[in-house]
Structure 1
Amino acid sequence: MTKQGRSWEQRMGMGGLGGWVRQSGDSLDKDATDRDSRAMVPTPSPTHLVSSTGANGWAWRCGCGWGRALGWGLLLTTGWAAEPAAKHEAVEVKLNVAYADNANPRQTLDLYLPQERVVGRRLPVVVFIHGGGWQNGNKSAGKSWVQPYAASGHYVGVSVGYRLAGEAPWPAQIHDCKAAVRWLRANAARYGLDADRIGVEGNSAGATLALLLGASQGIAELDGAVGPHAAESSRVAAVVNFFGRINFLAEPVSARAGLTQAAALTGRLKVLFGGTLEEKAELARQASPVNHMGAGAAPVMTAHGTSDELVPYVQALELDAAMKRGGVTHLLIPMTGFGHGFQNAEANRRARQFFDRYLRGVVTEISTEAIVAPAKK
């Protein structure tokens, strides 16, 4: 059979499956291996092509949706330098792929696939889950996080949508995210994914969901029955947590936060849980990642602002203590002087190192030294 006559899976030798980093002036592809000597093959005809070198400064939306609720300006222009031209310049994007076997646009995901693939190699996956205070945001926020991973040629990127609290109360959100991971496993051969190497990252509410993906296997109330692939596992191998809430029953906001912020959060959580935290304490405990960090949880990297008024830094410390008690790997990076919704090139670089270590087996040291916010002018 000719190369042209074979299916993509046959050309790739596939049979099964197995963020968010961008660093100013740095290529995401740091493999020491000389790829010039490796055979490369294209993926199928692109649905939509994007270039990893198409912009010198990207606008980054936290996707947290708190700007409207709390009056915060969360649209940050990072001014990141474009990644230098590389072999993996083009990325195939498949938008709005249904993972729940229905027509709900929230229950879809976007796939970012490298146009050039090493023959026969299944790629690890980095999944991004957006924030938005449980009532805002969408999966388009994940583009700038996962597209660079795909552009490196070493990963497939995925951005997942989920039902917001106004449409469906807890635990619909984690049910959707687990269904998305199960869908990835069920469709591994089709897209050349490695089922044993799925990592997930998120910010704010998305980070809470990412942490639960890493630590709540086998809990029926959290696994749910969304989608047609209940037999597949929703386990993930590594988690990056950017300023996620880990305990809903702890201090809701920092003492420095104003009454408006506290009221906005209280209202959002009431919609999420279908009642006050006092009325829905059991649901809130179930939704708190800190209560699930035992043996078997995936390793986690956390970057959290010490000046975060919305999700106080003490939450990151509580997570760190819980993971140490459970014997689970946790790298805590204090973001000194940062608030909620930050974006930082050095934190992103360490996130990439973290995924490289736990998804690709790259031996690398990851600093946990505090990252200090630049002085205000």
Structure 2
Amino acid sequence: MTSIKIFLTTFLIAFSFIVKGQVNFEPDSIFNYKITKEGDLKMKAFKPSGHNISDKSPVIIFFFGGGWTSGNTKQFYQQARFFADSGYVAISAEYRVHGKHKTSPFECVTDGKSAIRFLRAHADKLGIDPNKIIASGASAGGHVAACTGVIKGFDETDENLNISSVPNAMILFNPVIDTTEKGYGIKKVGKDRKTEISPSHHVVEGIPPTLIFHGTADQTVPFENVEHFTKLMTEMGNTCELIPFDGKGHGFFNGSYFRKRKTDDIFNNTMNLSLEFLQKHNFNIEN
């Protein structure tokens, strides 16, 4: 997809909103991907027009934010629809959170890995390319997405571990990337386990290409955390692009559907930059 096609996609989505007065931000299908003792976990799927199970579409999966305690899959419905209209299968996924399931951040990571593995294991039935899976998310959901690409272990032992739970790329929105005293979440992971699921403490060679959007004035997840992570990734030979949003705080990226903003300027910017990033890394849409 060329830059011109990206522009046209954005224009047509915006034009549809103006002409019709609304865009359908509801998922095209909903299905379970994991059964836990705390309850079933669902994927909310958004599909390109005319999509068939014989297709090999790239797929992007979003994990909502909420401090591993709360959150709603609707946070990423607008992004998911944008990607579906751009030719991707897009998923907004549930995962266990403390408020509803009385679980910890460690179960969140395990669920994220289960979700990636499910997509890869069921690629033929879902019409997706198992080698073009993008993990995405915001804040604690950005942490879940990052952990699928960085953290070893924390897999469900009853799953087929021969199927990889590592995505092929990551797009992260103000992600929790350090769970120690220098970052966010130490009270939730505990001092004795503060680095176990802290992506900044597990950077090695071979991590999937990563794009990060972060506000420089974020008071929840310090901007310095993602700067440090980007530096570590680059030093290990990994691709990690950090795009700062000057003066913006936590959750700056949300679209008008979720936050009822007056404009979608930042939303459109992050979406276009995401498509450009994926194009550079060969997540091309087959015509």
TM-score when scaled to structure 2? 0.81
**Structure 2 vs 1, CA of residues 169 and 294 (structure 1 numbering), >3 Å: closer, same or farther?**
same
Residue number among 137, 149, 154 corresponding to 1:214 in the alignment: 149
Query: How far did residue 209 of structure 1 move?
Result: 1.2
Measure, in 2, the Cα distance between the counterparts of 1:176 and 1:90: 24
Matching of residue 358 in structure 1 with residue 268 in structure 2: no
Which amino acid in 2 is paired with 1:341?
A: G
State the SS of the aligned residue for 1:302: strand
Query: How far did residue 102 of structure 1 move?
Result: 5.0
Residue number among 174, 178, 187 corresponding to 2:113 in the alignment: 178
Matching of residue 99 in structure 1 with residue 33 in structure 2: yes
Query: How far did residue 357 of structure 1 move?
Result: 2.7
Q: Does the 8 A contact of 2:183 with 2:225 survive in 1?
A: no
State the SS of the aligned residue for 2:171: strand
Q: Unpaired segments of 5 or more residues in structure 2? A: 1-5, 254-265
Matching of residue 249 in structure 1 with residue 172 in structure 2: no
Matching of residue 291 in structure 1 with residue 224 in structure 2: no
Query: How far did residue 119 of structure 1 move?
Result: 9.4
Query: How far did residue 337 of structure 1 move?
Result: 0.8
**Alignment deviations for residues 113-147 of structure 1 (CA, whole Å, 9 cap, x no partner):** 22313895411101111101111102222211111
**Structure 2 vs 1, CA of residues 105 and 155 (structure 1 numbering), >3 Å: closer, same or farther?**
farther
CA RMSD between the two structures: 3.1
Number of aligned residue pairs:
264
Structure 1 vs Structure 2: percent identity of aligned residues?
25
Q: Does the 8 A contact of 1:106 with 1:163 survive in 2?
A: no
Q: Unpaired segments of 5 or more residues in structure 1? A: 1-23, 31-50, 58-80, 84-88, 254-264, 363-377
Q: Does the 8 A contact of 1:237 with 1:358 survive in 2?
A: no
Matching of residue 301 in structure 1 with residue 211 in structure 2: yes
TM-score when scaled to structure 1? 0.63
Measure, in 2, the Cα distance between the counterparts of 1:358 and 1:25: 19
Greater helix fraction, Structure 1 or Structure 2 = 2
State the SS of the aligned residue for 1:321: helix
Matching of residue 27 in structure 1 with residue 4 in structure 2: no
**Bigger Cα Rg:** 1
Map 1:1-377 → 2, pairs under 5 A: 26-28=8-10, 55-56=17-18, 93-95=28-30, 97-102=31-36, 107-117=41-51, 121-152=55-86, 154-166=87-99, 167-216=102-151, 219-220=152-153, 222-225=154-157, 228-252=159-183, 269-270=186-187, 272-273=188-189, 277-278=190-191, 280=192, 283-343=193-253, 344=266, 345-361=268-284
Q: Does the 8 A contact of 2:177 with 2:229 survive in 1?
A: yes
State the SS of the aligned residue for 1:245: coil
Query: How far did residue 151 of structure 1 move?
Result: 2.0
